[in-house]
Chains A and B, each alone.
Chain A
Amino acid sequence: MSDDILTQAARALRESTDSERGAANDVPPSARLTRSRVMASLHRSTVKRRTRVAFLLPIAATLATVSAWGAASGKAPELWDAVTRTLGFEKPAEAPAPPVQSLGRSSRALRRPAEAAIEHHAVAEPTSEQPDTPAPAPQPPAVASAALPAPSAPAASASSAVFADPTHDLYRRAHRAHFAEHDAAAALALWDEYLRAAPRGRFAVEARYNRALCLVRLGQRAEARAALDAFAAGKFGGYRQSEAAELLEALGE
């Protein structure tokens, strides 16, 4: 019996809500109103979507253009640095290494004059005459480390990962051999390799100067003199000109 009640109740609900009983063209006002609401809602969402596209598209296009320009002109790392600096995302600078002066007098006295000259220059601040020369790296506790331009950009900058340049990796390896491992022979080979790969590269001038220092440290005086002559003669502008002249003088002794 209770099944009958349920069946009757279900039929009653079906019949009381059967809106398909009417004629095909007989659309109740509530249905017309709902249709209007649906169309208005769709229109609103379309307008909202178009507005969003109109707002975001120029921003995306600008970003793409700037990225392409930066990658093509090689200024992307600088641009990236500037942006991160502006936004406050820049990495905190590493604590500077102990200065070269901390080395004992006795060990210094035992060195040859040319090396002593290099060490003398190591105390000097790196010059920044080249507009493209990046900020000098913290001085490693090695002889002559601070005398070198030691650009930090290829080594640590996040931008180099984003805008990868294969020659930057070469530079990084040479830099490590020179400053971290203090292996002059390996560094010389890597500086040569870098200069072969990028003779007019962004860090070519620094690489040439560092190569000359390696030659000095390896005792290849003739080649070192030839390499330093170019700097002393101002072939690379004022970059390391005075230091090169002093080193030449020391080599000549």
Chain B
Amino acid sequence: MNVAELAPLSHPSLDEVESESDRLVERLRAGEPAAVGEVYDAHHRAVRAFAKRLVGEAAAAEDLVHDVFVALPKVMKNYRGESPLRTFLIAIAINKARHHVRGAARRRRAMTSFAEQPQLGLAGDPEQDARRRELAQALTRALDALTLEHRVAVVLCDVEERSSREAAEVIGVPEATVRTRLFYARKKLRAALEGVGVP
């Protein structure tokens, strides 16, 4: 019996997957809305999670996700296929994040003055959730004091647990630059978290 006959028909081969991916990229470059829809379905969770971590506010994060996918067909000319599409989407989010981060930080400052913070959804042990929420909000407020570059480095490396090499690839800067940014950002964050007396 021929080996090819034993190959399962239900799973696409690596070549098929690659050609499918290439076709999707071509459709995105052509500005096909359906292709954007497919990419959204595949990657929106990762982009949204990153956006929430970076911006620190659910509504602003949704706006950022919207901007990323609307801009996708236009910026596809910069995509060379060297990194996964998800990494490229995160890079777009970083480029689009500046005014969303600024707006969210402004709202947080206003909310703080009314002692009212937007709640990030958690489920599980109420006591543990409360502590987590408190820590997450303290970190988000501390991130507001950083520059966008430092903030991005912390979110990518400390919150999303990416390596400095991955972060460098996403941001498009040398790895050493990411490490330097992390060093200074962590120093400031430690000081900020100790200052607010997080237990």
A residues near B (Cβ < 8 Å) are 2-3, 5-10, 12-20, 30-31, 33-35, 37-39, 41-43, 45-46
Contacts and interface: CB of A to CB of B under 8 A. Distances in A.
The A contact surface, by secondary structure, is: helix
A3 B142 CA distance: 14
Interface in B78-121: 120-121
Contacts of B194: 2, 5
Contacts, number: 106
B37 A35 contact: yes
B150 interface: no
B89 to A, nearest CB: 12
B139 interface: yes
Contacts of A5: 135, 190, 193-194, 198
Contacts of B31: 42, 46
Contacts of A9: 135-136, 138-139, 142, 189, 193, 198
Contacts of B181: none
Interface string B20-31: 000000000001
A35 B44 contact: yes
Contact of B58 (A8, A30, A43): A30
Interface of B: 31, 33, 36-37, 40-41, 44-46, 48-49, 52-53, 58, 62, 65-66, 69-70, 73, 120-122, 131-133, 135-136, 138-140, 142, 154, 158-161, 186, 189-190, 193-194, 198
B70 A2 contact: no
A118 to B, nearest CB: 68
B70 A14 contact: no
B62 A10 contact: no
Contacts of A34: 44, 48, 62, 65-66
Given A6-B193, A14-B53, 9 more contacts: A6-B189, A7-B158, A12-B139, A13-B135, A15-B122, A16-B122, A16-B132, A38-B36, A39-B33
Nearest to A32: B44
Contacts of A46: 31, 33
